[in-house]
Structure 1
Amino acid sequence: MAQLPHGLVAYKRTPVFDQDSLPAGLRREHRTKPGVWALIHVIEGRLRCRIHDPAHEEILEPGKPGVVQPEQPHDVEPLGPMRMFVEFHAMP
Structure 2
Amino acid sequence: MQEIPDTVRPYQKTQVYTDKTTPGMMKNDHRVRSGVWAKIVVQKGEVVYEIPERNEQVTVTAEAPAVIEPVVMHRILPQAGSRFYLEYYR
TM-score (norm 1): 0.92
Q: Distance in 2 between matches of 1:8 and 1:63?
A: 22
- Provide the residue aligned with 1:66 in structure 2: 66
* Structure 1 spans left out of the alignment, 5+ residues: none
Residues 7-86 of structure 1: pairs in structure 2 closer than 5 A: 7-86=7-86
Give the root-mean-square deviation of aligned CA atoms.
0.9
Structure 2 residue runs without a partner (length 5+): none
Greater fraction of residues in strand? 1
Identity of aligned residues (%): 26
Task: Tell me the number of residue pairs that the alignment of Structure 1 and Structure 2 aligns.
Answer: 90
Q: TM-score, normalised by structure 2?
A: 0.94
Runs of 4+ in structure 1 deviating by more than 6 angstroms, as ranges, are none
Three-state SS of the structure 2 residue aligned to 1:5 is: coil
**Paired letter, 1:32:** V
